[in-house]
Structure 1
Amino acid sequence: MQRHLTAIALVTLLGTGIASAQTTTTGTPAPDAKSSEKSGGQEAVTRPNTDRPDASKPATANAAANAKLEEGANSFTEAQTHKRLEDAGYKDVRGLKKDDKGIWRAEAVLNGKPVKVGVDFKGNVAAQ
């Protein structure tokens, strides 16, 4: 009986350790996070970049010009992509289509000027 209880305790202890090791924390980037251009890219990061324009701060309009869009299987719908572009400050989004590399591409207006934009599978928004 003693051996049986010891075995059960050991299995329980090992199972708890494995479950704890699988815990992942996710969230939004820190407000003072470096842009992907300054940090060397996002090779190991799966959240969107931090250098897209902020609609509430027109001075950031050119920040997305240097963002790198990454190829990959894109699961964003057309409506989700359109909203992401509008949230980034782009207006009058037209011709939104996903290319063969998984990048949504469109024409839009930013600060009164026409621009070509893209959105990759991570949600990165960049002027082209």
Structure 2
Amino acid sequence: MRTPLALVLVALLGSSAVAQTTVTGKPAAPDAKTSQQSGGQESVTRPNTDKMTPDGTGAGMGGAVRLEKGANSFTEGEARSRLAKAGFMDARDLKKDSDGIWRGTATHGGQTVQVGLDFKGNVSAQ
């Protein structure tokens, strides 16, 4: 009995499948890192507050950060912790608004300011 050539080819090709990797190019930003260098997905979802300086200047301060609407899964305690990490202490009256942004007041540099925290962890103050 003869085996059709097509079946033999399918059997041979099917058993020798090889994983392929596609390289899409270099990151567009001049200071960007590849996934292997930056830790993968975490680098994409990291908040802007990671560049805050102790004196409150830097990314994430004031009107420089636009808070984004979205389903916010941070608890009130997590929101307080994120605000404190960004230098905003004694957060009060925190409430999640209809856009999913935690809003309230906090102390920064001895002054009381209005603060907000979006679903990505971005902090803004006025």
TM over 0.5: yes
**Aligned twin of 2:88:** 90
Q: TM-score, normalised by structure 1?
A: 0.67
State how far apart, in whole Å, the 2-side matches of 1:6 and 1:61 are: 56
SS at match of 2:92: strand
* Superposed CA offset, 1:54-83 (max 9, x none): 3xx215179611211011111111111110
- Percent of pairs identical after alignment? 44
Gaps of 5+ in 1: 29-44
Question: Which of 53, 62, 72 is matched with 1:65 structurally?
Answer: 62
TM-score (norm 2): 0.68
- The alignment partner of 2:66 has SS state of coil
Q: State the AA in 2 paired with 1:26.
A: Q
* Partner secondary structure for residue 58 of structure 1: coil
Q: Is the 8 A contact 1:61 1:110 kept in 2?
A: no
1:42 aligned residue: none
Any idea what the Cα deviations from partners look like across 1:15-40, whole Å, max 9, x if unmatched?
A: x23xx56xx52345xxxxxxxxxxxx
> 1:49 Cα deviation (Å)?
1.6
Structure 2 stretches of 5 or more lacking a match? 1-6, 23-34
State the match for 2:97 in structure 1: 99
Number of equivalences:
102
Larger Rg: 2
Partner AA of 2:55 in structure 1 = P
> How far apart, CA to CA, are the structure 1 residues paired with 2:76 and 2:96?
8
1:84 alignment partner, SS class: helix
RMSD: 2.6
